[in-house]
Structure 1
Amino acid sequence: MKLTYKFNEDVMKLTEAKNGADIEFNITFLTNEFKPQIEKVEKHFSENQVITDVLVYAHKNHHYQIIVRKDFYDEFIIELFKHRLLLEVKWV
Structure 2
Amino acid sequence: MTVTSIATRCAAPAGLTTGLAAAYISPPAPMFLTSIPTGAGADVHIYQDPDGSLSSDCTGCGEYAWTLVTTQDFAEEHAATCLRPPRRRAA
**Structure whose CA Rg is larger:** 2
TM-score range, shorter chain: 0.3 to 0.5
- Between 1 and 2, higher relative CO (CA 8 Å, sep ≥ 6) is seen in 1
TM-score (norm: length of structure 1): 0.32
TM-score (norm: length of structure 2): 0.33
Structure with greater strand share of residues: 1
Structure with greater helix share of residues: 1
